[in-house]
Structure 1
Amino acid sequence: MNKLKAYSLLPLAVAAMACGGHEQSPSIVVTNPLGIERHELVAVPYEAFVTAFGSDSVFKVVNAANGAEIPYQLETQGRPSPQHILLYVSVPASGNVELLVEKAAPAPVPTKTFARYVPERYDDFAWENDVVAFRMYGKALEGRPDDAHGLDLWSKRTPGLVVDKWYANGDYHTDHGEGMDYYSVGMTLGAGDVAPLAGGEVVYSKHYRGHEVLDNGPLRTTFQLDYEPWQVGEKTVSVSKRYTLDVGSQLNRVEVIYSIDGDGTLPVAIGVSRRATEGRLLSEKDNGMFGYWEPTDAAHGTTGVGVILTDGPFEQFIAQPKQYLSVLTAHDSEPIVYYNGGAWDRGGRIASADEWFAYLRAAKEKETFPLQVEIK
């Protein structure tokens, strides 16, 4: 299996153009190489943007064809100054869109992504966008009868943000019209968390110990969770996990870096909780994809969960009584990049196994063939 490569920024070309001896105003052209319409964020390096359009702090971006304003976010990645301009674009199938930058105040961008540490609920860390929400369990939950390990998935049917509201009322296991948390994690990896293997069994760490929010909306939220070292067989292991969630996406982008002593390699598994009765599976080991459409819960509906590896195949799939495991090899200090997440049939977007598996396949294709960005 090839070693996994780190995520690379969307391609960017900068070209100078002249027409009839007169220099044209620069524009941003976003091209879609796929035959499907796309609505997603693209990243323009901030330095390239400033070189082309100037360093004015007040500007707006518009569609050259119809004047529609394009929402944007300045992404810092936890640094003092912007690293990218994130543009939320709609691009037709096999087409492109041209964007202009105007020196005028932009319209406010509603916050669609959010994350925070939740000390009032046993050190949870929770995050969400306009279609889905998640949480990781914290130190204060350890040793309690209700302790659990993996990624928890919250089912939403509102585009509004719910994390603060649901924690405040404390009744988020009941659907009051916005959705609920009915996903059962227990002692599994839940909705696509990752952990080492030893002797074919998952070796769980303790819950995360450090957290840092790097960007927090309005269109993309990124944060990092750090874990203290633990023993996996004869090896001492530690890990950091960086999560990125974009507006409109059912899936997180996850970058995981293991520190591994000894020979510097470690088998790891990305896991999905398995239910007592059978659902439907999407198992494409060579394509680095696994999907699970759970059996329907009569009271709550149906959940779909999936994982997508960005580079290379999974080495094997393992079906255990309580979870499905997608196995690969981690290398010391080298990032593993994958996507995890889920959907709910009562959320209004994805209502069947076929639709969920199609979503996962399209997400894989989009990651393989990103939107192309050019400043002209």
Structure 2
Amino acid sequence: MTIIKNSISLILIVFVFACEQEQKSTIISVKNTLDFERSNEIVEINKSLLDTDDLSTIGFKDVNTGELQVTQLVDNDGDGTMDDILFQPKVPSKAMAKFEVVTITEAEQPKALDLCYSRFVPERTDDYTWENNKVAFRVYGPTAQKMIEDNVPGGTLSSGVDAWLKRVEYPIINKWYKKEIETDGSYHIDTGEGLDDFHVGASRGVGGISVKVDTTYYASKNFTKWRTITTGPLRTSFYLEYENWDAGGNIIVESKVISLDLGQNFSKFNVSLEGVENISAGLTLHEKDGEVSGNKDEGWVSYWQPHADSELGVTILASKDYFKDFETYNSDIKDLSNAYAHLNVIDNNVIYYAGYGWKKSGQFASEQQWETYITAFSKCINNPLEISLNK
């Protein structure tokens, strides 16, 4: 009888110990309140939330499937220490996905292609260019500005955002620049991967900002400083700074962080501003042969236009806190006609998204399909995934 009692006691001790170990697991719950699956959104977890100074051995395991998620570490402030860990969960309609925080080795880290990429491009004057598996963009630096001011050919004076129209999911930035600079080929010609034939000039391109004073729109010149924050596999992001600029007597102080996530057609613009209470982010109207549409309640403005042998949609979105209204602004001066999203500046900050859908890429067959994508994206930014942590 004593032997039986001792055996039972041992079993109870093991059971209690196992329960305690299970209770010590940290679970991250990701809740989707919308009626469609969400799989292209990044979850950001700060190291303070996980109570650790070292994120290099952290992994996230799907509780249901046991699958380890692809992760990315980010040093936001450039101090050499990783601050956040990112992953991109798949969360079904009106459901919650759970992920266990686990310790893994470098060899156990799931591998993924680096499809989110950005860099400064000194060999092509001083562009800053970024891309993911869907879209690509660039902006222009101080050397390009000075060339214009000094009447040197080849410069660009613009704080507008250029769209590089790509038709492939693999990276093209380095390949296209090499083609343009080192060979007889040109990224202005489509050989199956896409091309750069989107004119920006003095326009706002795809998401450059202006400040409206009375009936006049004012804009900054080219960026003056840059810093790459992170590249791939899930996100690329970078910092830009601008020389203080005048908007009808108001001195504007501007800097921004731009990011682009895997699988998304929209870059996120997180802009820090002083000297202004609202701004307008614009979309160039080019030949004014397209159609401007928008939805104030959903928080977006879009321009669908004929483009060479195809069609192209460009759009700006913002959450309801930031989005005020939209406007079609026509001018007889070249490149000054833009569709504008009027946005609130809250605590010296404004966040909006800008991007494009190119029919020739095969992603969107019509303006209706593009607007369906816009509407879904708007719902996502106004109803973010809900993150909770249970230790």
C-alpha spacing 1:243/1:55, structure 2 compared with 1 (3 Å): closer
Larger radius of gyration: 2
Q: Which residue of 2 aligns with 1:91?
A: 91
What one-letter code is carried by the residue in structure 2 that aligns with 1:161?
Answer: P
**SS at structure 1 position matched to 2:85:** strand
Within a 5 Å distance, the mapping from 1:152-191 to structure 2 comes to 152-170=162-180, 171-191=186-206
C-alpha spacing 1:195/1:235, structure 2 compared with 1 (3 Å): same
Q: Which residue of 2 aligns with 1:362?
A: 376
In the alignment, the residues of structure 2 paired with residue 230 and residue 55 of structure 1 have an alpha-carbon distance, to the nearest angstrom, of 41
Which deviates the most, 226-235 or 336-345?
226-235
> Which residue among 286, 292, 313 is the counterpart of 1:275?
286
In the alignment, the residues of structure 1 paired with residue 279 and residue 88 of structure 2 have an alpha-carbon distance, to the nearest angstrom, of 34
Within a 5 Å distance, the mapping from 1:1-376 to structure 2 comes to 23-24=22-23, 25-39=25-39, 40-50=41-51, 57-78=56-77, 79-100=79-100, 101-104=102-105, 105-142=108-145, 143=148, 144=153, 147-149=156-158, 150-170=160-180, 171-260=186-275, 265=276, 268-298=279-309, 301-310=310-319, 311-321=321-331, 322-328=337-343, 330=345, 334-376=348-390
Which deviates the most, 306-315 or 112-121?
306-315
In the alignment, the residues of structure 2 paired with residue 37 and residue 185 of structure 1 have an alpha-carbon distance, to the nearest angstrom, of 35
In the alignment, the residues of structure 2 paired with residue 284 and residue 124 of structure 1 have an alpha-carbon distance, to the nearest angstrom, of 33
Which deviates the most, 99-108 or 240-249?
99-108
TM-score, normalised with respect to structure 1: 0.86
In the alignment, the residues of structure 2 paired with residue 177 and residue 364 of structure 1 have an alpha-carbon distance, to the nearest angstrom, of 31
C-alpha spacing 1:266/1:334, structure 2 compared with 1 (3 Å): closer
In the alignment, the residues of structure 2 paired with residue 36 and residue 277 of structure 1 have an alpha-carbon distance, to the nearest angstrom, of 35
Q: Which runs of 5+ in 1 are unaligned?
A: 1-17
- Distance apart, 1:60 and its partner CA: 3.6
What one-letter code is carried by the residue in structure 2 that aligns with 1:173?
Answer: H
Which deviates the most, 344-353 or 357-366?
344-353
**SS at structure 2 position matched to 1:120:** helix
Whether the 8 Å CA contact 1:59–1:106 is kept in 2: the answer is: no
What one-letter code is carried by the residue in structure 2 that aligns with 1:273?
Answer: T
Q: Which residue of 2 aligns with 1:6?
A: none
TM-score, normalised with respect to structure 2: 0.82
CA deviation map 1:237-276 (0-9, x unaligned): 221121011111111111112222xxxx355321111132
In the alignment, the residues of structure 2 paired with residue 313 and residue 330 of structure 1 have an alpha-carbon distance, to the nearest angstrom, of 10
Which deviates the most, 156-165 or 276-285?
276-285
Greater share of residues in helix: 2
Whether the 8 Å CA contact 1:75–1:215 is kept in 2: the answer is: yes
Whether the 8 Å CA contact 1:172–1:180 is kept in 2: the answer is: yes
Which deviates the most, 205-214 or 321-330?
321-330
**SS at structure 2 position matched to 1:48:** coil
What one-letter code is carried by the residue in structure 1 that aligns with 2:294?
Answer: S
What one-letter code is carried by the residue in structure 2 that aligns with 1:57?
Answer: S
- Distance apart, 1:277 and its partner CA: 4.7
- Distance apart, 1:152 and its partner CA: 0.3
Whether the 8 Å CA contact 1:280–1:353 is kept in 2: the answer is: no
C-alpha spacing 1:119/1:145, structure 2 compared with 1 (3 Å): closer
C-alpha spacing 1:19/1:362, structure 2 compared with 1 (3 Å): farther
**SS at structure 1 position matched to 2:97:** strand
Structure showing greater relative contact order (alpha-carbon pairs closer than 8 Å, 6 or more residues apart): 1
Whether the 8 Å CA contact 1:130–1:161 is kept in 2: the answer is: yes
In the alignment, the residues of structure 1 paired with residue 270 and residue 92 of structure 2 have an alpha-carbon distance, to the nearest angstrom, of 29
Q: Which residue of 2 aligns with 1:5?
A: none
- Distance apart, 1:154 and its partner CA: 0.9
Whether the 8 Å CA contact 2:210–2:219 is kept in 1: the answer is: yes
In the alignment, the residues of structure 1 paired with residue 271 and residue 26 of structure 2 have an alpha-carbon distance, to the nearest angstrom, of 38
In the alignment, the residues of structure 1 paired with residue 249 and residue 379 of structure 2 have an alpha-carbon distance, to the nearest angstrom, of 39
- Distance apart, 1:303 and its partner CA: 1.4
C-alpha spacing 1:259/1:120, structure 2 compared with 1 (3 Å): same
- Distance apart, 1:366 and its partner CA: 0.6
- Distance apart, 1:50 and its partner CA: 4.2
- Percent identity, aligned pairs only, is 28
